[in-house]
Amino acid sequence: MSRSDPIVIQAGRGEQKYWRDVWRYRELLYLLAWRDVLVRYKQTVIGVLWVVIRPLLVMTVFTFAFGKIAKLPTEGNVPYPLLVLAGLLPWQFFAGALSEASSSLVSNANLITKVYFPRVIVPVSAVVTCAVDFAVTMCLLIGFMAWYGIWPSWRIVVVAPLFLLMFSAAIGAGLWLAALNAKYRDFRYVVPFIVQFGLYVSPVGFSSKVVPDSLAWAYMLNPMVGVIDCFRWAFLNGDGQFGWRAILCSCMVSAILLIGGLTYFRRTERSLADVI
C-alpha cells in the first residue's frame, strides 16, 4: 500500500508546502476579511456611512487649506475638491492597509498561538478589508464626478492595473510592518507617524505639478506618488500627462517592498508563536 508524502515538521523546514497551504486556506482569507468588515459595523449607528463621511470631511478641509488659502494650482479645469478626492481615495486605502496590517498579527494573537494556518493570510486579509472600503468610497468619487459633470474617458482602463500596483505596495509594506510590530512592539508608534507624514508628502492635498524638479527623484520614491498621479489622470480628464517616470519608480519600489516584505515575514513567521 503506497502512502502519500508525509508532512515533515523540522527546524528550518516549511517552504515547500507553504504556498500549497496558502491556496488550501484561501477561504480563511475571505472569512477573516469578512469578519473584520462585519464586526466594524455591528452595533454602530452611522454604520457604513462612516466609510464615506471620512473622505468627505478630509476633502473639505484640504480643499480649503491647500486650494483656497495656499492657492495651489489644479490640473486643467478640474475643480479642486475633485482633485483632492481623487488623490484621497487611493491614499486612504494605502494608509488604512498599513495601519491594519501592522497590527493584524498582534490583534489575532489568539489565533496564531492556537491554530495552524499560513500566517501570511492575516495581514493580507487586513489589506483586503481596506480594499472593500476602497470600493465603497469609489462610489463617492463617481458621485462627485457626476455632480461636476465630468465623465470618465477611455483612460479608465488603467485603473485595474493601478489598483494591482497599489495593492502590492500595500501588502509589501504591510508584511514588513506586521512582522516588525510582532517582534518589536514599539512599531505601533512608528506606523501612525509614517501615515501622517505620508499624507503630506503624497500628492493628496496638492497636485504633483507643484513639486520642483530638483526634488523629483526623492519625491517619487513614495510608491503612492505614481499611483495617485495616474489615478487622477485616469479619472479626471485634466491636462496632466501619464506620469511614466513616477509609475516606473512606483513599480520598482513596490516590487522591492513586496519581495523584501515577504522574505522578512517568512523568516519571522517561524518564531511568531513564541514572541507574540
Give how far the C-alpha of residue 187 lies from the chain's centroid of Cα atoms, to the nearest Å.
18
**185 near another protein, judged by CB under 8 A:** no
Q: How many CB atoms lie within 10 A of CB 164?
A: 11
How many residues of this chain interact with another protein, rule: CB under 8 A? 30
**37 near another protein, judged by CB under 8 A:** no
According to CB under 8 A, which one of 37, 56, 111, 251 is a site residue for another protein?
111
CA distance 140 to 56: 9
The b/e string for 113-140 (b: 16+ C-beta within 10 A; e otherwise) is: eeeebbbbbbbbbbbbbbbebbeebbeb
Give the DSSP per-residue string, 107-153. Answer: HTHHHHTT--S-TTHHHHHHHHHHHHHHHHHHHHHHHHHHHHT----
CA distance 99 to 195: 8
**260 near another protein, judged by CB under 8 A:** no
Q: Point out which span in 38-46, 96-104, 216-224, 248-256 binds another protein (CB under 8 A).
A: 38-46
**117 near another protein, judged by CB under 8 A:** yes
Maximum distance among all alpha carbons in the chain?
A: 80
Q: Point out which span in 108-116, 161-169, 232-240, 245-253 binds another protein (CB under 8 A).
A: 108-116
According to CB under 8 A, which one of 19, 50, 116, 184 is a site residue for another protein?
116
CA atoms lying within 13 Å on the CB side of residue 46: 6
- Residue 52 Cα distances to 36, 66, 163, angstroms: 18, 21, 19
Choose between 39 and 160: whose C-beta lies nearer to another protein: 39
Min dist CB 91 to another protein, Å, is 29
**124 near another protein, judged by CB under 8 A:** no
**2 near another protein, judged by CB under 8 A:** no
Amino acid (one-letter) located at 16: Q
Min dist CB 176 to another protein, Å, is 21
For residue 177, report the phi and psi dihedrals to the nearest 5 degrees: -65, -40
**273 near another protein, judged by CB under 8 A:** yes
Helix axes 159-183, 80-107, angle to 10 degrees: 40
Choose between 128 and 228: whose C-beta lies nearer to another protein: 128
**64 near another protein, judged by CB under 8 A:** no
- What secondary structure letter does DSSP report for 25? T
Min dist CB 47 to another protein, Å, is 13
CB 127 within 8 A of CB 170: yes
**42 near another protein, judged by CB under 8 A:** yes
**3 near another protein, judged by CB under 8 A:** yes
According to CB under 8 A, which one of 20, 68, 185, 270 is a site residue for another protein?
270
Q: Which residues of this chain interact with another protein, rule CB under 8 A? A: 3-4, 6-12, 14, 27-28, 31, 35, 38-39, 42-43, 110-117, 270-271, 273-274
